A = this chain, B = another copy of it.
Amino acid sequence: MRVKHGEIPDRQWQKRLHEIIFEADTPAGKAFDVVLICAIVLSVVVVILDSVGSYQAKFGGFLYAAEWFFTILFTIEYVFRLLSVRRPLRYAGSFFGWIDILSILPTYLSLLFPGVQYLLTVRILRLLRIFRVFKLTEYVSEAHILTTALRASARKIGVFLFAVLSLVTVIGSLIYVIEGEQNGFKDIPTSIYWAIVTLTTVGYGDLAPKTGLGQFFASIVMILGYGIIAVPTGIVTVELSKSARSTQHCPSCSAEGHDADALFCKYCSERL
């Protein structure tokens, strides 16, 4: 984690700051992280409550103040983060650097574009640091298995998505021609939206075929969706099954990925 945030700096005050902000081994570092997590959760709650009419009517002023309070707090924190790393630009460009900036920007932008401040809920992603603070390494390893499986299936899922997007375009056009504007399918983009709503089995019902032919066609699409929804499930299952496999290392060539029942290394034939 630390490596991703730029290397530890040389100067003494910077080193100390880095320890507090980026590490959780010292009491000060741990206290900082706990306070940070509370602040994040609170600030997200403030944003959510601010959107609810009845709360805004009663506590509007307080919620507005709290929003600015947290934004300024996170802005100061962001500046200190940049100060405490050796290469501030590299940190600013990292995943957590982007999340940090996206977590304060909307409040400032809301001065120009009212309503944008509701995007502040993106702050919840900062909670991903939680795993580091509480040393939830077991959870990290579980998350690792999940992400490995998802990354390994990325290409298969890419091919699959391309196929699905082509399919919904064609299906959307067909239903547009079959049902037409008088039945709510007012243009092809809307019809493609219907095709996605149907194929993913979400089925809002805001658009539904009304003619007999349209219902017949929709039935075919739904049964097709049966098979289609099975594909990503199958892909993820197979990959999860693989990445859950024994992580045995070969003593000779240290290759990984052997089956649980392998007796010899499948790459160099050494006995495992």
Copies of this chain, how many? 4
**Closest Cβ neighbor of A180 among chain B residues:** B115
A52 touching B259, Cβ below 8 Å:
no
Interface residues of A in 157-196 (CB under 8 A from B): 157-161, 164, 166, 169-170, 172-174, 176-177, 180, 186-190, 192-193, 196
The 8 A CB mask of A179-219 against B (1 = contact, 0 = none) is: 01000001111101100111011111110100010011011
Extra inter-chain contacts (14) besides given A121-B170, A124-B170, A269-B270, CB under 8 Å: A48-B192, A51-B188, A121-B169, A138-B155, A164-B223, A197-B203, A231-B236, A233-B233, A234-B240, A237-B238, A237-B241, A255-B261, A258-B266, A263-B266
Looking at the complex, which one of B166, B188, B205, B267 makes contact with A263 (CB distance below 8 Å)?
A: B267
A192 touching B219, Cβ below 8 Å:
yes
**Residue A62 at the chain B interface, CB threshold 8 Å:** no
Known A225-B200, A226-B229, A263-B267: A156·B166 in contact at CB below 8 Å:
no
A63 to chain B, nearest CB (A): 12
Question: Which of the four size classes fits the interface of chain A?
Answer: 35 or more
- Expressed in whole angstroms, the Cα–Cα distance for A260 and B256 within the complex equals 7
- Among the listed stretches A79-87, A89-97, A142-150, which one makes contact with chain B, having 4 or more residues with CB under 8 Å of it? A142-150
B267 touching A262, Cβ below 8 Å:
yes
Of A149, A180, A235, most B-chain CB atoms within 10 Å: A235
B258 touching A257, Cβ below 8 Å:
no
A177 touching B115, Cβ below 8 Å:
yes
**Closest Cβ neighbor of A161 among chain B residues:** B223
